[in-house]
Amino acid sequence: MSPDPSRRIRVMLVDDQSLLRAGFRLVLEQDTDLEVVAEAADGSQAVSTARRYRPDVILMDIRMPVMDGVEATRAILGTPELADTRIVVLTTFEIDDYIPDALQAVPAGSCPSRSSRRSSAAPCTPSQTATRSCRRA
């Protein structure tokens, strides 16, 4: 069965900073192919919210209270009903001790949440990640 091209890509935002979530929502809602369906403020909320809303793509911060983004990513991808969910791991840190674990946990790819000349991560959009066209860093 092929995907319905008229169906919008369902996106979930996960970050402990509400201002960043609001900014991502504002930008993403400009794209008619994307629909922000849920938000979570920590990794634990991300797991339960993902189970409830079953998004196509999750934008996941790495560093959060309660449960970090790497642990939440592993839990989500280990949930059978969320096997088709794609996760883009975000960080505002140029050098982050979590990045190697995040790259192992996220099979589709990784994108920096801000551009950097020194960053080796390939920039990608949620649409590209949902279709696995984002390169792995």
Q: What is the amino acid identity at position 110? A: S
- The mean pLDDT value for 4-8 works out to 73
How high is the pLDDT of residue 38?
A: 97
The per-residue pLDDT for range 74-104, each reduced to its tens digit, is: 899 899 999 889 988 877 665 555 555 555 5
Annotate 8-54 with DSSP letters as a single string. Answer: PEEEEEE-S-HHHHHHHHHHHTTSTTEEEEEEESSHHHHHHHHHHH-
Domain boundaries, the chain: 9-114+123-130
| AA letter at 49 | T
CATH of 9-114+123-130, picked from 3.40.50.2300, 2.60.40.420, 3.40.50.150, 3.40.50.720, is 3.40.50.2300
Q: Identify which of 23, 71, 77, 74 has the alpha carbon closest to the alpha carbon of residue 55.
A: 77
Instruction: Write down the pLDDT at residue 136.
Output: 38
Whether pTM exceeds 0.85: no
